[in-house]
Amino acid sequence: MTLNKALALINSRKGKSGDAIYYLACGFEPLHLTTLLRAHLLERLPDDKNVEVQCGVYGDLRGNIESAARRAATACAVVLEWSDLDPRLGLRSSGGWSNEAKADLIANCIERYTHLEAAIVALAARMPVALAPPSLPLPPIGNTIRAQSSVLELELEQQLAAFLLRMARVSGVRVVERSRISSAAAALDARMELIAGFPYTVPFASALAASLVDVLCQPAPKKGLITDLDGTLWSGIAGEIGVDAVSWSQEHHTQTHGLYQQMLGHLASCGVLLAACSKNEMTTAEAALARKDLFLNAGSLFPVCANWGPKSASVGRILETWNIAADAVVFIDDSPMELDEVERAYPGVTCLAFPGKDPAAVWNLLGRLRDLFGKPELMEEDRLRQSSIRVSAQVREMAADGGSAEFLRTLEGTVTLAWQVDKADKRPLELINKTNQFNLNGLRMGESEWQRLLERNDTIVAVVSYQDKFGPLGKIAVLVGSQAGRKVKVSHWVMSCRAFSRRVEHHMLDSLFRHCDAEEIAFAFAKTEKNQPLREFFAAAGIRSSDDGAWRISRKDFLSSCGVLPHATPDEA
Amino acid sequence: MNNIEEKVAGCFGSVFPGLGAEDLPQASEATVAAWDSVAQVTLLSAISEEFGLDFEFEDFERLVSYSLIVEYLESKLHHG
């Protein structure tokens, strides 16, 4: 994006309301980076929204980070440069590059990293932080020619790598990938640095801004991947050449399929749901998947749909089993015809071709999958998702068969409500921001808004965990509200689709009435495109709209409608 | 308005969106309230991008009005 284009975009949004505030913390003059960051953010927002980018003062990165932590910003971009660690590593200093200065410089950087680390950790507790490592070249102070790395440079790089590693392990900190930005354009504009204190060329500043926005405004990750088998998971048609003849190895020149299998195994370990959809005999598919040399644990494919019907029908069954929306799913097949058929039936599904004969294209596909499924950090619930999905499908099936109440009691379930929320726990906010089906109103919330909400005295938050004889589901629901007298108003209520059909929602309301000694609960309900499951629960539980538009239920009505609840609710924290 | 003036006017419009076309000939650091040091760097950078040329350090101190900028560009592009 050019500077002129960025300015034009910003001017086109003048007067639009609903400013989101982002903070840019850097030690140089932010100048064009502010403009370009704002423009790239605007590109991600609806046309009627605006963005404000706030900045700090020149030459004080640490102070600016501390200042950001005191703001009510949505997120913060921290841009580190070598001169923030020691001014002698920039163009505007005259501190000298003698050997004594170099030793002092190394020591100085260590101390500066310690201070920055403390400031960034405190900031990340308040809002998401994108941390961009230095992009500018070091001054030419090595004793070697430029083609040869000097010990000093390597030592500085080592310090930096250790710092970034520590930062990447801090919840809420997202380190910007360095080589991707630096390959986009030459970074240093020496003239502008000396004239105005802004060190970047405009093309580089635009690439940096785009990367910061990519990292801060990540789309919701996909949840499930449905893969074809013949020609995709392996090379060859198992039904024709036999299950022992299909291949996925370097030896058979079919390594692209082996890479794909390894990628699926990696995604499964990150909590991505996997299923197979193949035009095949079930016995053939099962026999091929039983091969011991598969790079993927075949047990992580659930369900496996192998039949001769349209693939869209199999995809439909898989979506039903997983109980997730089509737009959270990726479908991969080597046949353009099958991709087209599924895409027509489920326009929300991301359909991708498997280009098995083209190694470069397969490599790009694996990168694309990383982007589609990647998330800022993994949680315990991601690990549990794979194992719980089979049980959840069984529970739904058996509950639907009519034996609901008795069956649920046999699960020996425990619903635990935590009323004291750990502010550093990212899971409640993740649930609020990614749950669609059992969602009171579809309202999303930023990290800083969440933190402010937790600090209010009248806020009630319940984070709900569930486990039964099949194992834990982890934290699966969140309810947020406020209390005035014996009336509770619920502003957010979400529950993971993995916990459906267990009457966890009934337990939550029952506990809320008891915990708050409430007579009535009102809900800030709004219909969304996807919250049909919540609406069905409201109808069944007798939660109805009042004359004033609010949705309410009294304690008496709730108790008379909910019956005996099936699970244990241990002493609530 | 010639081609240079049109392009400069476009850059002024981007950096000072409140400035009317009729105010351009008199526009300067002294008459436009929003024309501070940051706006000066942004304006000359936008013009630099538009015309594909680099400004010297002195230019940032000297080119402080619409007419001076147009005059400079005409001289640079037609004779430089």
Regarding predicted confidence, which is higher, A498 or A236?
Answer: A236
Q: Which residue of B has its CA nearest to A2?
A: B49
Please list every residue in chain A whose beta carbon sits closer than 8 Å to the beta carbon of residue B18.
none
| Residue A401: per-residue pLDDT | 57
Q: Which of A92, A192, A206 to mutate to test the interface with B (most CBs of B within 10 A)?
A: A192
Q: Do A2 and B57 touch (CB under 8 A)?
A: no
pLDDT of residue A58: 94
DSSP three-state, residue A52: strand
Angle (deg, nearest 10), helices A359-373 and A255-269: 10
- The answer to which of A17-21, A71-75, A426-430 has the lowest mean pLDDT is A17-21
B64 min Cα distance to partner chain A (Å): 15
CATH 3.40.630.30 residue spans of chain A: 402-562
| Local confidence band at A425 (pLDDT 50, 70, 90 cut-offs) | confident
Q: A152-195: per-residue pLDDT in tens? A: 999 999 999 999 999 999 989 999 998 877 776 789 999 999 99
User: Both tokens of residue A97?
Assistant: 């590059």
**How is residue A429 written in tokens?**
């906010």
Chain A residues whose CB is inside 8 A of the B10 CB are 4
The terminus-to-terminus CA distance of chain B in angstroms comes to 21
**Is the complex ipTM more than 0.95?**
no
| Torsion angles phi and psi, residue A478, rounded to 5 | -140, 140
pLDDT of residue A400: 65
* Residue range A384-403, pLDDT digits in tens: 777 777 777 777 766 665 44
Beta strands in A308-411 (DSSP E): 329-333, 350-353
Examine the pLDDT at A51 and tell me if it is beyond 80. Answer: yes
Return the CATH number at B45: 1.10.1200.10
Nearest to A202 among B38, B49, B57 (CB): B49
Q: Which of the four CATH numbers 3.40.50.1820, 3.40.1390.30, 3.40.50.1110, 3.40.309.10 does domain A3-216 have?
A: 3.40.50.1110
* Single-letter code of the amino acid located at B8: V
CB contact under 8 A, A4 and B50: yes
How far away is chain B from the Cα of A32, in angstroms, using its nearest Cα?
7
Contacts of A118 (CB under 8 A, 6+ apart): none
CA distances from A135 to A180, A200, A269, B37 (A): 11, 9, 33, 26
**Interatomic CA distance for residues A246 and A234, integer angstroms:** 6
pLDDT at A150 over 80: yes
CATH topology of domain A224-373: Rossmann fold (3.40.50)
Tell me how many domains chain B contains: 1
Task: Give pLDDT, residue A530.
Answer: 85
Instruction: List the beta bridge partners of residue A264.
Output: none
Task: List the one residue out of A392, A378, A501, A511 whose CA is nearest residue A438.
Answer: A501
pLDDT score of B80 more than 70: no
Taking CA atoms, A245 is separated from A171, A301, A304, A362, in Å, by 46, 21, 21, 22
CB neighbours of residue B42 within 10 Å? 22
* SS3 per-residue string spanning chain B: CCHHHHHHHHHHHHHCCCCCHHHHHHCECCCCCCCCHHHHHHHHHHHHHHHCCCCCHHHHHHCCEHHHHHHHHHHHHHHC
CB atoms within 10 A of CB B22: 7
Query: Taking residues A372-394, what's their average pLDDT?
Result: 79
* Neighbour tally for A381: CB within 10 Å: 20
Residue from A5, A28, A195, A206 to probe the interface with B (highest B Cβ count within 10 Å): A195
Q: Report yes or no: B50 and B11 within 8 Å, Cβ to Cβ.
A: yes
Q: What residue spans in chain A does CATH classification 3.40.50.1000 cover?
A: 224-373
Q: What are phi and psi of B16, to 5 degrees?
A: -120, 75
Distance in angstroms (rounded) separating the CA atoms of residues A172 and A546: 41
Q: How far apart are CA A183 and CA A133, in angstroms?
A: 14
* pLDDT band at residue A244 using 50, 70 and 90 as cut-offs: very high
Closest CA to A517 of A559, A488, A557: A488
Assign domain A402-562 to its CATH superfamily: Gcn5-related N-acetyltransferase (GNAT) (3.40.630.30)
Give this prediction's pTM: 0.80
Contact between A7 and B45 using a beta-carbon 8 Å cutoff: no
- Which tokens in the block code for residue A255? 């390594």
CA-CA-CA-CA torsion for A90, A92, A94, A98, nearest 10 degrees? 20
Chain B interface includes A4 (CB < 8 A)? yes
- Cα-Cα-Cα-Cα torsion A229, A231, A235, A237, nearest 10 degrees, comes to 80
Contact partners, residue A443, CB within 8 Å, separation at least 6: A432, A491, A492, A524, A526
Give the closest residue to A482 by CA, choosing from A521, A447, A436.
A521
Give dist(CA A69, CA A497) in Å, integer.
34
List of chain B residues whose C-beta atoms are within 8 Å of the C-beta of residue A204 = none
**What's the rounded Cα separation, in Å, for the pair B48 and A234?**
55
> Minimal Cα distance from A35: which residue of B?
B42
Mean pLDDT value of segment A86-90: 92
User: What span, in angstroms and rounded, lies between the C-alpha atoms of A534 and A439?
Assistant: 6
A 10 A CB-CB count for A567 gives: 20
- Domain region containing B25: 3-79
